[in-house]
Structure 1
C-alpha cells in the first residue's frame, strides 16, 4: 500500500467513525444495534470512487483519482457525509445514486433482519447496501441484489469485491424478482415503484417482510402467502430514483402528483396526492386530508389480495381506499 493509499485509509477511518457517531446520535439503530457495527466496518468510499455534486454550472464530478490532493480529500469527506450521492447520470438525468446513510440505517432496521434470513435487494446501486446486509448476516450467500443496467451490476460487483464481499449480483428486471434464488425471508427495494410486484410475494416465505419505497413513503408489508400481503407506511418521507423496467410504467391516465396551488401545500398532503394520483382529484384529496385531521404517512397502508391491490387510510376495510396498479 502506497503513501497515498495509507493516507486515504486513515482519513476514511476517521470520517466513517464520525458518520457512525452522527447516525448513532439520531437513534437510528436503537431497535437493532447490530447495524451500527456493520456501518462502522463497511467502507462507503470503496463504493463511490466518483460521484456528482450539483453546482451553479451543473454537476461537478468528484473522484478518487483526481490529481489535486485537495480535490481527493473533498471526494473522501463527501463519501462520508450523511447525504445521498449521485453516482450515475444519463443526459443530465440521475439514473443511480447511493442513498443517504441515515435513511439506509433506518430502512435496514425496519427490515427486521434475523440471523439466517435470505434477503433480496432490488436496486443494486453501488453495492454498498448489499455489503451492509452481507456483513450483518455474516454470509454473502444469503444476499441477492438485482439491477436492470449491466454497467451498474458490473460496477457493484467490483465495489463489493474491493470491500471483500461476493453476494449474488443479478442483471435483470427487479419487478420480476430472482426466482432462482427464492424463497426469500426479506425483500428490500432501494428504488421507487408504482405498486407491489406480485412476483415478489410468490418468491417469499410465509411471514416474510417486504420494505419498498412507494409514493414518497416507505411501505412495510408482511407476506401471508404468494397472493396476500398487508402493511403500513413508516412515518417519515423517502425519495428514490424510480425502478427501471416493467415495474416503472405509469398506469394510463396517471396525473402528476402536484398539490393545488403548487408545492406550498404541506408535505404530508403531497404524499396523499402521490398515493392517489390516478384516482383522486387534488381538490378532493385536500378536502379529505383536512377532514381526517391532516394524517401523516403512518396512518396509511396497502393490502394485496389476489389480483387486487389497494392503498387505504386507517383501516383496510374502511371508507377510504384507492386501487393501485
Structure 2
C-alpha cells in the first residue's frame, strides 16, 4: 500500500518537476511517512488548512503525507499546539515536488560531503544520505532543539545516520568542511558567507531565496577558487525564513513629524501583481520588503500594499487601492520615500524590457551579495 502511494506521488510530480531517476529512487528508498509526526497541518479543499491526526484518522493522515503538499509540523516556535491550526508556521515537511526540484539542482553524487541547513523532520537529510551513498556523509544543522530531537528519533528508526548538529545554520559547521554540496531548507534573504567559505571550489549551494518583494525563488550557486559564488534562479521555492533573518515587524511612528501622507497615480497593484522578474529587480535596487493584502473598512473593500525597510523597523508605509479612485493614498513613516524608491525600481525594470527571473543572477563574496542582470558585470 505504501509503495503504491509513493509511486502515485512520483507520477504526479514527475509530470512537471525536472528531477530525474536518482531523486525518485531516493523517494522510494526513504518513504516520507517515516518522518511525518502523528499530528500536523495540511491543505484543505477550501484553500484553508486542516489538522491531520494519524490516530484519529489514519487514512486522511496517509493521504496528506503522500500528496504534493506541505505538512506544517510546528506553530510559533512550538508555543502553540498544532491542533489550534492558527499561528505562524515555523517548521514543516516541505512539498515533495519542491524537495525533488532542489535535490535535482543540487546534483548530489555518491561520496559527496553534504551540509544541510535546517533538519526539520529529517526527511531531506535521509534523502541526501541515500544520494551521497554512505552514513556520515551528511551533516544537518537544526536551530530548534525539540525539532532536532524528533528528527534524530525518526532517522534512527529508519536506520539512517547523518551527523546532527543543533545550532544556527547561518554559521555552517566548520568541523565537516570542505563540503561538496550545501542544501538549505529555510528561506534566506541574505546568503551567509560561511556557506561559501566552507564549500570546496566547484561546490554547489542550493537555497530558497526570499527577496522581500514578489515571488520567492530557488537559487543555485557554484563556488569558485577565489571563495566567491555565482549563480542563477532556476525556479521557484518558497520556504519559511531562517530564524536569524526574520523581518522585524513595522512599528508605529514615534513623533508626528515622522508621518507623511501623499498621493500617487501609480496603481499599487501594478507593483503587487508584477511578474517575478520585477520583484527581483525591486528588491535588489531598494532592499525593501513588501506584502500585499486584501482588506475592508467602514468605507468598503480596499487593497493595501505594505512596505518596510528590514534595516530600519521605524521606516515603513502603505499604499491603498480602492475601487473607483483615480489617485491612491500613500502613508509613510520615517525619512525614506519608500514608495518613490519602489516605483523608480519598477519602471527601471520596465525600461530594461521587463526581464524574467531567468535573466537574473547573484554573486556572493565576503563583502556581501549582489543581484545582476544577464552577467555579473551588470550588477543592479
TM above 0.5, yes or no, is yes
CA deviation after TM superposition for structure 1 residue 112, in Å:
1.7
- The 8 Å contact of residues 28 and 102 in structure 1, kept in 2 or not, is answered as no
Q: Which residue of 1 aligns with 2:308?
A: none
CA distance in structure 2 between the aligned counterparts of 1:169 and 1:143, rounded to whole angstroms: 9
Q: Could you list the per-position Cα deviations for residues 261-303 of structure 1 after superposition, in whole angstroms to 9, with x for gaps in the alignment?
A: 3633334423433444427922112212222222221111111
Q: Write the mapping of 1:195-210 to structure 2, written as runs, cut at 5 A.
A: 195-210=190-205
Give me the TM-score of the superposition, normalised by structure 1. 0.84
Q: Which residue of 2 aligns with 1:263?
A: 272
Q: Write the mapping of 1:311-322 to structure 2, written as runs, cut at 5 A.
A: 311-318=371-378, 320-321=379-380
Structure 1: gaps of 5 or more residues: 1-9, 253-258
- The 8 Å contact of residues 201 and 227 in structure 2, kept in 1 or not, is answered as no
Does 2:95 match 1:35? Answer: no
Residue of structure 2 aligned with 1:291, choices 328, 351, 365: 351
Q: Write the mapping of 1:107-256 to structure 2, written as runs, cut at 5 A.
A: 107-214=102-209, 215=211, 216-225=216-225, 227-234=227-234, 236-245=235-244, 247-248=245-246
Q: Which residue of 1 aligns with 2:42?
A: 53
Higher strand share: 2
Taking structure 1 as reference, are residues 150 and 225 closer, same or farther at Cα in structure 2, changes over 3 Å only? farther
CA deviation after TM superposition for structure 1 residue 148, in Å:
0.6
Give me the TM-score of the superposition, normalised by structure 2. 0.72
CA distance in structure 1 between the aligned counterparts of 2:191 and 2:226, rounded to whole angstroms: 12
CA distance in structure 1 between the aligned counterparts of 2:282 and 2:118, rounded to whole angstroms: 25
CA deviation after TM superposition for structure 1 residue 27, in Å:
4.8
- The 8 Å contact of residues 217 and 271 in structure 1, kept in 2 or not, is answered as no
Taking structure 1 as reference, are residues 72 and 195 closer, same or farther at Cα in structure 2, changes over 3 Å only? same
Structure ID, larger Rg: 2
CA distance in structure 1 between the aligned counterparts of 2:184 and 2:135, rounded to whole angstroms: 18
Taking structure 1 as reference, are residues 39 and 288 closer, same or farther at Cα in structure 2, changes over 3 Å only? same
> Aligned with 1:233: secondary structure?
strand
- The 8 Å contact of residues 188 and 211 in structure 1, kept in 2 or not, is answered as yes
CA deviation after TM superposition for structure 1 residue 182, in Å:
1.3
268-277 or 293-302, which deviates more:
268-277
CA deviation after TM superposition for structure 1 residue 197, in Å:
0.9
CA deviation after TM superposition for structure 1 residue 58, in Å:
7.5
Q: Which residue of 2 aligns with 1:19?
A: 9
Q: Could you list the per-position Cα deviations for residues 128-169 of structure 1 after superposition, in whole angstroms to 9, with x for gaps in the alignment?
A: 111111112221210111111001111111111222211111
Q: Which residue of 1 aligns with 2:55?
A: 65
